[in-house]
């Protein structure tokens, strides 16, 4: 027990600074855990000796990890992304599994071992890829959606693979019929556990939530995890499979969000133990004895996964450059592969040496993955910019009739909105997009559309950039946007370039690249928020518009924490204190209704002056004190910012200001 506590203390001491460091450098902490495990393990610095105890804790970590994955499982999200999930995901997993199976079979491995190797190597790292795509704000890009869809499919396939491994290890299962029968029995057990639990668990959680408190709910969830795992094991499945089923059951309850918050800290801690323990299991001596062989296998696995994932994209008509990027980003072995490899070792499918080689290749690929992901976009543009655009629609020639038009790059929400406005105002425009679904939607809606990559010169030229008056970039991929801006400025130095972006730091970079106007989403949202707040406080529209214009004129410097110059500050102060006009519509419930201006006496009470009254679209300038105010009249007020604010309040309620303005 003392040794176990010491080991846990060392693990915590190591995992916390690693998590902080990798969070700081914006890399997945999984990489740090693997490196730490290699360093502190029995084959490294030997800071931890009782690996068997740590492996037991790691198994608990896997159980909690799979439970939370079950909690976050969404059937609706799966159906929404069904095309990309089944298309690219199914082809990638199938092609990789078959290729690896064939290679290992030809090398003399047994049939069941070859299948197991293929299934394990086919999986990629959800933790690494998803974190880096999220940090780079690429979730909404075409390659981001394809990567996430493929990873989702792989995660779903972990369940049947976990069922397959014990069956592959059974020596009694010889024929295909025996194998199919065993598979049906396992699936029947899963379905039985799932539906029986669905009948009991939700009602139990509702009852506990009513009669107990938060601690009782957490204890009940832990009991459900362990109980489902125990039942699964008794029915020939694994504890981890039971935990996954438990998560999927609880995900349908109304308490799943609270449960995730309660379990998440435990999940993260035990997951760090799992990855560190995986690193500790790596025998550095095996790596040193066959370093070149291990490096060769690592390079081969990365190239095979890269090529087959790219091929899977091409087979579903994804553009070549995007296929290249997706292949690079899925070219590693994933964390679930480590779990499945450990299961295969326990089941006797692999011997210790085979497991070590698989472990070494997996860890090397995961450590190399962030470098591939970071380089993927730039490398793809450098390679494919040398080619004539194979991604453009060769059936269409440049539309020579379009001159002085607007090119809308990206037919997402922003692009669609702009296209509708231009259509209504009869301004000529053309839509350019690389996403086949968006192009199909634009064509269906009757828009002039070209299919192509805006990062290629030929595509922009065929869209008529030389004759265009403006080009608007509304795509989420920043690297492509920056390159396309430089390219557009090179092709047509006179064209006006407008760019939508997300992050603060990108404003100056895109302007340096050649953009005339850069509109950051977060700042426009901030402007909209403060505009609505000021309107609720009855601040005149013209003063709000002037402040908005000043902020935009200064390139959002105020919001970006940059100092405004003296002239700008004077301008801002002038806007705030300027003499302005404002209009006030007299309603049925307005205090000023049916009163004469002399009785209202607005100038004495607020300082504002009524300079005109508009009645039934007819103006009455300089109305006298006997002028009667009727419902529907529009009073035109003149005064300072403060005077107008007081006047509008006074006209509506009749409440005089506490302090008269000077």
CA distance 353 to 573: 75
pLDDT of residue 304: 93
Could you tell me the end-to-end alpha-carbon distance of the chain, in angstroms, rounded to an integer?
A: 80
Res. 402 pLDDT band, cuts 50 70 90: confident
Residue 161 belongs to some domain of the structure: yes
CA distance 453 to 463: 11
* Total length of the chain: 662
Which of 111-120, 323-332, 367-376, 573-582 is the least confident region? 573-582
pLDDT of residue 399: 46
**Whether residue 226 sits in one domain with residue 158:** yes
- The predicted model gives 519-542 an average pLDDT of 73
> What CATH number did the domain enclosing 460 receive?
3.40.50.720
**Whether residue 439 sits in one domain with residue 367:** no
Residue 5 belongs to some domain of the structure: no
CA distance 33 to 27: 12
Residue 388 belongs to some domain of the structure: no
Alpha helices by DSSP H, 41-175: 51-72, 75-80, 82-84, 90-106, 111-122, 126-135, 142-169
Higher pLDDT, 302 or 267: 302
CA distance 60 to 66: 10
Render pLDDT for 308-322 as a digit per residue (tens, 0 to 9): 999 998 888 888 888
Q: Which range of residues forms the domain containing residue 201?
A: 50-176+193-380
Query: Is this model's pTM higher than 0.85 or not?
Result: no
Question: What is the three-class DSSP state of 406?
Answer: strand
**Whether residue 264 sits in one domain with residue 129:** yes
Residue 385 belongs to some domain of the structure: no
Residue after which a domain boundary falls, among 515, 543, 565: 515
Q: Which of 384, 530, 380, 395 is nearest to 456 (CA)?
A: 384
Q: In the numeric block, which tokens belong to residue 409?
A: 């790059």
DSSP assignment, residue 593? T
Residue 562 belongs to some domain of the structure: no
The residue with tokens 């997300």 is: 502
**Whether residue 213 sits in one domain with residue 336:** yes
Residue after which a domain boundary falls, among 484, 500, 515: 515
**Whether residue 266 sits in one domain with residue 353:** yes
CA distance 502 to 369: 25
**Whether residue 445 sits in one domain with residue 339:** no
**Whether residue 454 sits in one domain with residue 500:** yes
Beta carbons of 513 and 479 less than 8 angstroms apart: no
pLDDT at position 357 over 50: yes
Render pLDDT for 69-88 as a digit per residue (tens, 0 to 9): 666 655 555 555 555 567 78
pLDDT at position 303 over 50: yes
> What CATH number did the domain enclosing 586 receive?
3.30.70.1450
**Whether residue 308 sits in one domain with residue 427:** no
Residue 555 belongs to some domain of the structure: no
User: What phi and psi values does residue 448 have, to the nearest 5 degrees?
Assistant: -70, 115
Residue 18 belongs to some domain of the structure: no
**Whether residue 76 sits in one domain with residue 205:** yes
Render pLDDT for 211-261 as a digit per residue (tens, 0 to 9): 777 677 778 877 877 787 787 777 766 676 777 777 777 776 666 666 666
**Whether residue 363 sits in one domain with residue 310:** yes
Q: What percent of the chain is helix, strand and coil (3-state, nearest 5)? A: 65, 10, 25
Helices 320-329, 352-384: axis angle to 10 degrees equals: 150
Q: Provide, rounded to the nearest whole percent, the portion of the chain with pLDDT above 70.
A: 76
**C-alpha count within 13 angstroms, C-beta hemisphere, residue 183:** 13
- The predicted model gives 574-588 an average pLDDT of 69
**Whether residue 295 sits in one domain with residue 415:** no
Residue 548 belongs to some domain of the structure: no
Q: In the numeric block, which tokens belong to residue 488?
A: 């557009």
CA distance 106 to 114: 9
Q: Which of 154, 155, 145, 191 is nearest to 70 (CA)?
A: 155
The residue with tokens 């450990």 is: 342
> What CATH number did the domain enclosing 310 receive?
1.20.1530.20
pLDDT of residue 173: 47
**Whether residue 249 sits in one domain with residue 100:** yes
Residue after which a domain boundary falls, among 380, 414, 445: 380
Q: How many domains does the chain have?
A: 3
Res. 300 pLDDT band, cuts 50 70 90: very high
For the chain, give the mean pLDDT.
Answer: 78
Question: What is the three-class DSSP state of 144?
Answer: helix
């Amino acid at each position: 027990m003392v040794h176990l506590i010491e080991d846990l203390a060392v693990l915590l001491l190591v995992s916390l600074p690693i998590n902080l460091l990798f969070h700081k450098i914006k890399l997945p902490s999984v990489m740090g855990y693997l490196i730490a495990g290699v360093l502190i393990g029995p084959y490294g610095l030997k800071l931890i000796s009782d690996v068997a105890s740590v492996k037991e804790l790691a198994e608990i970590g896997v159980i909690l990890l799979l439970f939370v994955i079950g909690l976050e499982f969404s059937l609706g999200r799966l159906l929404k992304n069904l095309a990309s999930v089944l298309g690219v995901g199914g082809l990638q997993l199938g092609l990789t599994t078959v290729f690896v199976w064939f290679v290992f079979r030809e090398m003399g491995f047994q049939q069941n071992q070859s299948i197991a190797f293929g299934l394990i190597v086919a999986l990629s790292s959800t933790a690494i890829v998803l974190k880096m795509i999220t940090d780079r704000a690429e979730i909404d890009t075409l390659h981001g959606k394809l990567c996430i869809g493929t990873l989702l499919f792989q995660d779903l396939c972990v369940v049947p693979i976990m069922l397959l491994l014990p069956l592959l290890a059974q020596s009694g299962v010889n024929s295909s019929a025996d194998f199919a029968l065993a598979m049906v029995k396992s699936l029947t057990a899963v379905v039985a556990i799932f539906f029986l639990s669905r009948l009991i668990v939700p009602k139990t959680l509702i009852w506990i939530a009513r009669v107990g408190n938060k601690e009782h709910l957490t204890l009940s969830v832990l009991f459900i995890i362990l109980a489902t795992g125990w039942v699964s094991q008794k029915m020939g499945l694994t504890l981890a499979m039971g935990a996954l089923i438990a998560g999927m059951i609880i995900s349908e309850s109304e308490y799943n969000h609270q449960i995730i918050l309660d379990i998440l800290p435990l999940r993260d801690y035990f997951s760090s133990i799992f990855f560190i323990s995986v690193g500790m299991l790596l025998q550095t001596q095996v790596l040193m004895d066959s370093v070149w062989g291990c490096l060769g296998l690592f390079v081969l696995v990365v190239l095979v996964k890269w090529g087959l994932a790219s091929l899977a994209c091409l087979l579903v008509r994804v553009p070549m450059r995007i296929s290249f990027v997706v292949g690079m980003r899925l070219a590693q072995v994933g964390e679930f592969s480590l779990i499945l490899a450990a299961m295969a070792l326990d089941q006797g499918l692999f011997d210790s040496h085979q497991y070590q080689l698989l472990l070494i290749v997996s860890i090397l690929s995961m450590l190399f993955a962030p470098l591939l992901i970071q380089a993927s976009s730039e490398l793809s543009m450098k390679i494919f910019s040398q080619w004539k655009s194979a991604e453009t629609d060769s059936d269409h020639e440049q539309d020579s009739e379009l001159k002085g038009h607007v090119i809308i790059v990206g037919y997402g929400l922003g692009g669609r909105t702009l296209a509708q406005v231009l259509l209504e105002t009869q301004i000529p425009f053309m839509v350019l997009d690389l996403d086949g679904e968006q192009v199909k939607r634009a064509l269906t809606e009757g828009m002039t559309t070209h299919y192509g990559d805006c990062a290629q010169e030929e595509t922009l030229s065929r869209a008529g950039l030389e004759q265009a008056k403006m080009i608007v970039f509304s795509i989420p991929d920043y690297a492509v946007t920056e390159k396309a801006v430089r390219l557009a400025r090179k092709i047509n130095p006179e064209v006006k370039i407008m760019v939508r972006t997300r992050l603060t730091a990108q404003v100056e970079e895109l302007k340096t690249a050649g953009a005339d106007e850069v509109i950051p989403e977060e700042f426009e949202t901030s402007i909209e928020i403060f505009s609505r707040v000021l309107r609720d406080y009855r601040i005149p529209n013209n003063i709000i518009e002037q402040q908005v214009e000043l902020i935009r004129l200064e390139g959002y410097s105020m919001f970006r924490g940059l100092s405004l110059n003296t002239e700008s500050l004077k301008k801002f102060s002038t806007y705030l204190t300027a003499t302005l006009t404002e209009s006030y519509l007299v309603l049925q419930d307005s205090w000023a209704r049916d009163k004469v201006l002399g009785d209202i006496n607005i100038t004495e009470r607020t300082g504002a002056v009524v300079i005109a009254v508009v009645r039934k679209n007819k103006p009455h300038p300089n109305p006298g004190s006997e002028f009667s105010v009727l419902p529907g009249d529009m009073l035109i007020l003149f005064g300072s910012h403060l005077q107008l604010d007081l006047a509008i309040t006074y006209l509506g309620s009749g409440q005089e200001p506490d302090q008269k303005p000077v």
